[in-house]
A and B are shown apart, each in its own frame.
Chain A
Amino acid sequence: MARITPGQAYGFFTDTSVCIGCKACEVACKEWNELPGNEPVFGDGYDNTGSLDAQNWRHVQFIDNVPDETSGTGQGKAWLMMSDVCKHCQHASCMEVCPTGAIIRTEFDSVFIQPDVCNGCRNCIAACPYDVIAQDEHKGVAQKCTLCYDRLQGDMEPACAKACPTESIQFGPVEELQRAARQRVSDLHDQGVTEARLYGEDDSIYGGLNAFFLLMDEPEAYKLPNEQNAVLPRRNNVPGYLGTLGTAVLAVLGGLIALRRRREPTPATSSGTTPPDPEAGDE
């Protein structure tokens, strides 16, 4: 590959149709980024990583989708495997809400959390629609995939892409990846694999994902919001504040009604012995 140059947009094209679920990407990521291993989790599937979090910046999802009838060979239908990762969204929900400015867009157009700026408020966790970010319990800051920022600066491709044996994870300039992806999906369609589709390669999802995917099923099968549900947190600002404003107006009105309602003296209860106002003398 040509030199990795700042100023250009880089990303991943993750082609799930060739993923074999070997988890080489997870391991390579952990090694390079010195992320501790978690206790394995055992659910009802073959996935023992669980989810993306502060220590898992790549996560191979195993989606048990065994059909009732045998399908043709090589169609990747029975098991869907997908190496999930931060999408490095063009319109990034995490970046939008971060109050400290810790989340920046780097010279490689990736979304990066500066560990020395983040103060662990976790607003980004509430915002990321892909369940990518989590707080590191030891460092107290939010963590996620950095697109191997340090490797890119040293002209090396990210560790996961380097390790992937099937080229399910491809790294490169986003535009080149988009071309390759469109070619790949049309090849698959020509071979009769009509369920193949791209997710995030155009600007319909969050203005475009720098790390986008070729999927073998609906996005929601992979826990990815579809186009209609890919919405930004800030959509709720105006309605939320308007609702608050309306309530504030009613609350003030209510207070005024309560103050205004009568002029009769209160019965003996107030006992009429208001202590002298200490200030009275000053006036």
Chain B
Amino acid sequence: MLLAEEVQHFVRSPDWTWFILFYFFFAGISGGAYAIAALFRLRGEPSDEHAARLGHYVSFAALLPCPVMLVLDLGSPLRFWHMMWNTTPGEAGFNFKYWSPMSVGVWALLVFGAFATVSFIQALVRDGRIRLSLVRRPVKLLDGVLGELVVAIGAVFGLFVAGYTGVLLSVSNQPVWSDTWALGGLFLASGMTASAALLLLLLRHRRSAEPSAAKLIVSERLYALLELALIVIFLLTLIPADAVGTVFGFPWILLWLVVFAGLLPGVGGLLASRLAVTGEGVPVPLQSASAVRSLAMPALVLLGVLALRAAVIFSIQ
């Protein structure tokens, strides 16, 4: 016989699987990389400009698969535009439901896409890869305050895109997802960690951006710490709902081990050096790390971020 649980969930799972997993992953990186690039450009030194451009390239590249994943996941992909335009007879008009994160997210992704594209083109122009004056001239307008404003607003949307996916899961009646308020923050923090790690990985191919390496390393450590804190909060919020075992039990614990392994370079680095905490600190020499290390560490971090989303998405479905 069925017994009443603390929190009852009699829902069916929506079968959001691989497409959604990778959408969440890329959305986190795209938004996170944009935010990091914005910080470099707005608050960094002149030498950080190259890292900022790299961030905008990454942000744009990670954005591209997002709409593809979302559309392919639909039962009727050709109707993806129904998200934006209501086709109900007599009710035609824009769809915007502020109380439905899926509806809000579609628009946020669209707006963020515009910012990411503009910043991408700007980076190309600044790198001298676009010489067409038709493009260069309007982009020049972004050199001053206007440009800073664009990057700042874009970063807000970027942070939203990286995090709202967790809120989307929570705004449901699913076990685990709807029992916590921490998923939005968790996805955002891990998106930031992943972005910092990916930028570090790519830094090797853009020597001009290397002066920013130490800052990226410290960022990655702090984001990893933030992510770890949110994992703990996530776990704590599941206790009243008696749902910890659902998402942290076997076999999902294996994925969580990957998640924690991915946090090791960041949190471990923080513990080892404490340089980020003291504020004075020693610079982190990039080449002290062997090629394997500087490749394997960020790759491990990225894998951990993917595993985190997989554990949250698959454990309840």
- Residues of chain A touching chain B, judged by Cβ–Cβ distance below 8 Å, are 51, 53, 63-65, 93, 96-102, 104, 114, 116-123, 125-131, 133-136, 139-142, 218, 220-221, 223-226, 229, 231, 233-234, 236-237, 239-244, 246-248, 250-252, 254-262, 264, 266-267, 269-271, 273-275, 277-279, 282
The 4 A-B pairs at the shortest CB distance, nearest first, are namely A120-B75, A278-B128, A140-B75, A247-B185
- 8 residue pairs bridging A and B, Cβ less than 8 Å apart: A131-B12, A135-B15, A140-B75, A244-B166, A248-B163, A257-B218, A259-B43, A277-B49
**Residues in B whose Cβ lies below 8 Å from that of A99:** 83, 95, 97, 100, 102-103, 106
Please judge, given known A-B contacts A244-B188, A255-B219, whether A262 and B283 are in contact too, CB under 8 Å. yes
Contact of A117 among B80, B87, B128 (CB under 8 A): B87
**Residues in B whose Cβ lies below 8 Å from that of A229:** 7-8
Interface-located stretch among B58-66, B112-120, B173-181: B173-181
How near does chain A come to B258, taking the closest CB pair, in angstroms? 22
Give how many A-B residue pairs fall within 8 Å (CB-CB).
Answer: 279
How near does chain A come to B68, taking the closest CB pair, in angstroms? 15
* Per-residue A-contact encoding for B21-40, CB less than 8 Å = 1, 0 else: 00000000000000110011
Contact of A127 among B95, B172, B275 (CB under 8 A): B172
**Residues in B whose Cβ lies below 8 Å from that of A248:** 159, 163, 188
**Residues in A whose Cβ lies below 8 Å from that of B184:** 240-241, 243-244, 247
Contact of A225 among B10, B74, B189, B213 (CB under 8 A): B10
How near does chain B come to A51, taking the closest CB pair, in angstroms? 8
| Interface residue? B256 (CB, 8 A) | no
**Residues in B whose Cβ lies below 8 Å from that of A252:** 35, 39, 159
Interface hub of B174, B177, B283 (most chain A Cβ within 10 A): B283
**Residues in B whose Cβ lies below 8 Å from that of A254:** 192, 219, 222-223, 226
CA distance A65 to B3 in the complex (A): 12
How near does chain A come to B217, taking the closest CB pair, in angstroms? 8
Q: Can you name the residue of chain B whose Cβ is closest to the Cβ of A244?
A: B184
A258 and B163 form a contact (CB under 8 A): no
How near does chain A come to B199, taking the closest CB pair, in angstroms? 12
- Chain B interface SS verdict (over half): helix
A243 and B182 form a contact (CB under 8 A): yes
A119 and B82 form a contact (CB under 8 A): yes
**Residues in B whose Cβ lies below 8 Å from that of A51:** 12
B181 and A251 form a contact (CB under 8 A): no
CA distance A26 to B211 in the complex (A): 70
A259 and B40 form a contact (CB under 8 A): yes
B10 and A121 form a contact (CB under 8 A): no
B3 and A267 form a contact (CB under 8 A): no
**Residues in B whose Cβ lies below 8 Å from that of A131:** 10-12
CA distance A229 to B230 in the complex (A): 26
Please judge, given known A-B contacts A140-B76, A247-B188, whether A237 and B97 are in contact too, CB under 8 Å. no
**Residues in A whose Cβ lies below 8 Å from that of B295:** none
CA distance A224 to B166 in the complex (A): 26
Q: Can you name the residue of chain B whose Cβ is closest to the Cβ of A217?
A: B1
B211 and A266 form a contact (CB under 8 A): yes
CA distance A119 to B78 in the complex (A): 8
How near does chain A come to B19, taking the closest CB pair, in angstroms? 11
B219 and A258 form a contact (CB under 8 A): yes
CA distance A104 to B83 in the complex (A): 15
Please judge, given known A-B contacts A128-B11, A229-B8, A269-B213, whether A104 and B88 are in contact too, CB under 8 Å. yes
How near does chain A come to B69, taking the closest CB pair, in angstroms? 13
Please judge, given known A-B contacts A119-B75, A231-B173, whether A97 and B189 are in contact too, CB under 8 Å. no
How near does chain B come to A149, taking the closest CB pair, in angstroms? 14
How near does chain A come to B134, taking the closest CB pair, in angstroms? 15
Q: Can you name the residue of chain A whose Cβ is closest to the Cβ of B103?
A: A99
CA distance A272 to B98 in the complex (A): 50
**Residues in A whose Cβ lies below 8 Å from that of B126:** 277-279
Please judge, given known A-B contacts A259-B44, A262-B281, A262-B283, whether A120 and B76 are in contact too, CB under 8 Å. yes
How near does chain B come to A208, taking the closest CB pair, in angstroms? 18
Interface hub of A135, A261, A273 (most chain B Cβ within 10 A): A261
**Residues in A whose Cβ lies below 8 Å from that of B211:** 266, 270, 274
How near does chain B come to A83, taking the closest CB pair, in angstroms? 16
How near does chain A come to B102, taking the closest CB pair, in angstroms? 4
**Residues in B whose Cβ lies below 8 Å from that of A129:** 9-11, 173
* Per-residue A-contact encoding for B202-214, CB less than 8 Å = 1, 0 else: 0000011011011
CA distance A97 to B11 in the complex (A): 14
B286 and A269 form a contact (CB under 8 A): yes
**Residues in A whose Cβ lies below 8 Å from that of B50:** 274
CA distance A274 to B3 in the complex (A): 68
CA distance A136 to B286 in the complex (A): 54
Q: Can you name the residue of chain B whose Cβ is closest to the Cβ of A267?
A: B285
CA distance A199 to B246 in the complex (A): 29
Please judge, given known A-B contacts A120-B76, A266-B214, whether A256 and B39 are in contact too, CB under 8 Å. yes
Q: Can you name the residue of chain A whose Cβ is closest to the Cβ of B287?
A: A269
Contact of A233 among B163, B166, B171 (CB under 8 A): B171
How near does chain B come to A281, taking the closest CB pair, in angstroms? 9
